[in-house]
Chain A
Amino acid sequence: MIYPQKNKLINWFFHNYILRIVKSNFQEVKFDGVGVDKSKSVLLLANHFSWWDGFLMYYINYKILKKHFHVMVIEKTVQKVSFFKYVGAFSVSKNSRDMLASLNYASELLNDPENMVLIFPQGKFRSNFIDEVTFERGVSKVMQGAAGKFQTIMAATFIENLQYKKPTANVYLKAAHEINGLEDAQNAYQQHYHTAKQQQNKIIV
């Protein structure tokens, strides 16, 4: 398993790099305000349809969540993109013993109210046009491991082009109320995703 690395200079560099590419590649990143509980860490659940998701969530964290950013990434990707570990990525490899270590590590991170952990519960890329979001089982393990210590925030992102050459990202955020177990989490997310999508459908210029 690969853990996040700290190095002030490299962290600083990639922090600015991410903010810069988000700014230069998008016309605008729109997001909802969401109440963040300062005494709790944040578990951010997001849909996964592109390479941008992680960067966009990094941006969201910088803008409103204001916690230490951590993200669970497939091991292969962390190995390939070596700078990920300097912006808070830790690895997970599906179907291996190591997976438990990764899930436990995520729970551990959530025990500290200064942290936020981003998880893509879909576990792989899915189209931006899906109607139903299915969760992998690991998420519930993370939630159990840090029960009561964190706040769950759900993010549904949709990309839209409209009259500008550059795309606009719409990130719909919502704090979830008490969630017990995987099914509950999935239902809550599904509901949020559905409402977000309907709002997105209505956009007309």
Chain B
Amino acid sequence: MIPARRIKLFSNWFAIYMRYRMRRAFNRLVVTPFTPKPGHSVLLLCNHFSWWDGLWGNYLAYWHLDRHLYIMMQEDHLQKRMLLNLFGGFSINRSSREMVKSLQYAAGLLNDPENLVVVFPQGELISNHTTEIKVEKGIERLIKNIKGPCQIVYNCALIDYFESLKPSVFFHLYDCGVAGEVTFDELITKINTFHRHALKAQIDVEH
């Protein structure tokens, strides 16, 4: 397992640079108003459907949720882009015993209320149009290991175009409760309800 070697200054530069890149690549980045609970760290569960997801996680952490970003990445992906290690990327290898270590490491990060950890519960790239979010077992273990106060947030990102050649991305953020207070089954139901809600809300989104 590769732990994060987050360097604050570099992470700040990276966040500013990526915001610039995103503003160029996208027509609009719309985030539903959301304030995380004060004094809680944030476990940000995102749907995984594109190349941009992790960078969006960074964007949300910096400019909207106001926490230090850490992000769980597949080991081979991280090894190819070790630079991201300096911005808070740490690895998970699903086919090895070290997986438990990564989950415990993530839980440990969440003990600090300043931190935010991005995890993709689907564990693989799945269509943006999917109506069901599958949540991998590991998430249960991760949440069980969190000792400090931690809010679980589901982020459903959806891409739509409307009057532009550039895509717009809409982030629908939902509060799934505090770690330790929701059971794993409840969490899965909540995420799926929220996901369907986001798909519905997207239809009437302003454009």
Contacts and interface: CB of A to CB of B under 8 A. Distances in A.
B22 interface: no
Contact of B129 (A21, A51, A129, A167): A129
B96 interface: no
A128 B126 CA distance: 16
A202 B124 CA distance: 13
A125 B125 CA distance: 27
A204 B202 contact: no
A163 B128 CA distance: 12
Contacts of B129: 128-129, 158, 160, 197, 200-201
B81 to A, nearest CB: 13
Interface residues of B, number: 26
A161 B159 contact: yes
B127 A202 contact: yes
A127 B164 contact: no
Interface in A122-150: 125-130
A129 B203 contact: yes
Contacts, number: 80
A129 B161 CA distance: 11
A83 interface: no
Given A200-B129, A205-B124, A49 B160 contact: yes
Interface string B130-158: 11000000000000000000000000001
Contacts of B162: 49-50, 125, 127
Interface in B99-140: 124-131
Contact of A203 (B51, B127, B131, B161): B127
A127 B203 contact: yes
A163 B48 CA distance: 10
A19 interface: no
B97 interface: no
A125 B51 CA distance: 26
Contact of B161 (A128, A161, A201, A202): A128
Contact of A127 (B127, B130, B160): B160
B136 to A, nearest CB: 14
A47 to B, nearest CB: 12
B126 A203 contact: yes
A161 B52 contact: yes
Contacts of B158: 129
Contacts of B189: none
B170 to A, nearest CB: 9
Given A50-B160, A127-B162, A159-B161, 11 more contacts: A21-B165, A25-B165, A50-B162, A51-B164, A125-B207, A127-B202, A127-B203, A128-B160, A163-B51, A197-B129, A201-B131
Interface of A: 21, 25, 49-52, 125-130, 158-165, 167, 197, 200-205
9 tightest A-B CB contacts, nearest first? A50-B161, A161-B50, A205-B125, A203-B127, A129-B202, A165-B51, A200-B129, A125-B162, A127-B203
